[in-house]
Amino acid sequence: MQSLLTLGRQPALGLAELESLYGADKIRRVGAQAVVVDVDPCLLAFDRLGGSIRFAKVLTTLDTTNWRQIEKFLLEVGPGHAATMPEGKMTLGLSIQGLQINRGQLEATGLSLKKAIRKSGRSVRLVPNKDPELSTPQVIHNNLTGPNGWELLFVRDGDKTIVAQTVKIQDIASYTRRDRERPKRDAKVGMLPPKLAQIIINLASGQVAEQNLLNICEIPAGRPIPRNILSQTVLDPFCGTGVVLQEAHLMGYDVYGTDLEPRMIEYTKANLDWLEECDGCRGQDVTLSDQEVAEVGDATNHTWRPPIDFVACETYLGRPFTAMPDSTVLKQTVSDTNLIIKKFLRNIHGQLQPGTRLCIAVPAWQIKPNSFMHLPLIDQIEDLGYNRTRFEHVRDSELIYYRSEQVVARQLVILTRK
């Protein structure tokens, strides 16, 4: 059975994340915001994906993009499917991507399907569309992934239409809790979003062996999904307040972090202690082992203890800017950050085994809308002893996390130690 994932605000990041975890041959982009993944759905760890919003199972593919024909198909099969669902009132939602129909047409189809299901003796409620695609809060609020929920997703795939049913949606409440309820936060050192931290970790880890993946279909219904222990250590040499370590631990990795500032180490430890007690932060066992530590260390000269299986971090981003600085200030900022990150890469190179992967988020400066100034070291990676990992489905230039109003963006660079 194939899965269909809908991607987030910057779809290229989610696409690269999936390619990193499952391989280029297992994924196929569909339209602007979706991807078909040819992986056993029981082994697809949706909760660890920062760049995917919906997880749906593909029901069928129709040889048409004509909405009237799609509606005819729905009215034929909808009542039969409704009859197989548990007793009680069902909730119906429709979402579309890439199909040229307006909200009125979509609403009319939903009402027709609701009427057909009610004729079969089933009580049903239709979730109204504000947009062609229902929002994450709408899916969650209306329990459309629950036993009596049914969100159908229609995605244009060339001259065909994929029909899928949403089975999971991004847990925005948990992300908010892990982001905003941590006891120690510091806007001056940057506020790394947990979703982006997950993407960085997944780009750094590469493919996870199938035998190490948790089979969620073997977990009895109603029980929480336990933390999957992966027996690998992820190093964050610029750990700050510990967001990467937090997310890596929830994914099942052992974590090891260092930071130049003692205050940041105190913040990291406090946040990781809080994680153990956090209600609703996902996972059953979030207890840290004795080997999982955070310690003071300058990334440009520190000696880390082995083993280091991979490196995931947001490096030094330089001075924060709310508006574009003058050319002299910008030039000096670029030079300063470039020197620090180059020293870090030289220092850690001799401490890593050949083939070790790194994903580092480095600064890039948005000098005009969607146009960036990059660190000079990006073009010197080979000379520093690393190969740059590239993706089949995503260009290097797309691996930048930013918002339109931001000056300082985060460029994701994936490396392998030679």
Kindly state the DSSP code that residue 185 receives in the 8-state scheme: -
Radius of gyration (Cα) for the chain, nearest Å?
23
Give 34's pLDDT tier (boundaries 50, 70, 90): very high
What pLDDT was estimated at residue 209?
78
Peptide bond into 369 cis (omega under 30): no
Q: Which fold has domain 3-44+51-169?
A: VC0802-like (3.30.2130)
Integer Cα distance of 12 and 347 in angstroms: 31
Q: How many CB atoms lie within 10 A of CB 373?
A: 15
Q: Integer distance in angstroms from the first to the last C-alpha of the chain?
A: 38
Give 283's pLDDT tier (boundaries 50, 70, 90): low
Helix 194-205 / helix 11-22 crossing angle, nearest 10 deg: 40
What pLDDT was estimated at residue 282?
59
Residue pair 99/154 in contact (Cβ under 8 Å)? The answer is: yes
Residue pair 65/77 in contact (Cβ under 8 Å)? The answer is: no
Instruction: For tokens 């009580």, name the residue.
Output: 123
Give 215's pLDDT tier (boundaries 50, 70, 90): confident
Burial of 378 (0-12, 13-18, 19+ CB in 10 A): middle
Q: Are strands 357-368 and 371-373 parallel, antiparallel or unpaired?
A: antiparallel
Poorest-pLDDT segment among 10-14, 205-209, 412-416 = 205-209
Where helices occur in 32-124 by DSSP H, the ranges are 67-83, 103-119
What pLDDT was estimated at residue 406?
92
What pLDDT was estimated at residue 33?
95
Give 175's pLDDT tier (boundaries 50, 70, 90): very high
Burial of 179 (0-12, 13-18, 19+ CB in 10 A): middle
Poorest-pLDDT segment among 22-26, 266-270, 290-294, 352-356 = 290-294
Burial of 298 (0-12, 13-18, 19+ CB in 10 A): middle
Integer Cα distance of 6 and 54 in angstroms: 5
What pLDDT was estimated at residue 63?
97
Q: Which fold has domain 173-417?
A: Rossmann fold (3.40.50)
What pLDDT was estimated at residue 252?
86
Integer Cα distance of 297 and 348 in angstroms: 12
pLDDT exceeds 80 at position 129 = yes
Percentage, residues of the chain above pLDDT 90: 78
Q: Are strands 357-368 and 310-314 parallel, antiparallel or unpaired?
A: parallel
Q: Where in the chain is the domain with CATH 3.30.2130?
A: 3-44+51-169
50-99 pLDDT, tens digit per residue, is 999 999 999 999 999 999 999 999 999 999 988 888 889 999 999 999 99
Q: Where in the chain is the domain with CATH 3.40.50.150?
A: 173-417
What pLDDT was estimated at residue 142?
97
Residue pair 400/372 in contact (Cβ under 8 Å)? The answer is: yes
Give 226's pLDDT tier (boundaries 50, 70, 90): low
Peptide bond into 307 cis (omega under 30): yes
Poorest-pLDDT segment among 76-85, 276-285, 364-373 = 276-285
Burial of 167 (0-12, 13-18, 19+ CB in 10 A): middle
288-302 pLDDT, tens digit per residue, is 655 558 999 999 999
Q: What is the mean pLDDT of the chain?
A: 92
pLDDT exceeds 60 at position 285 = no
pLDDT exceeds 70 at position 220 = no
Give 223's pLDDT tier (boundaries 50, 70, 90): low
Strand partners, 4: 36, 56
Integer Cα distance of 138 and 149 in angstroms: 12
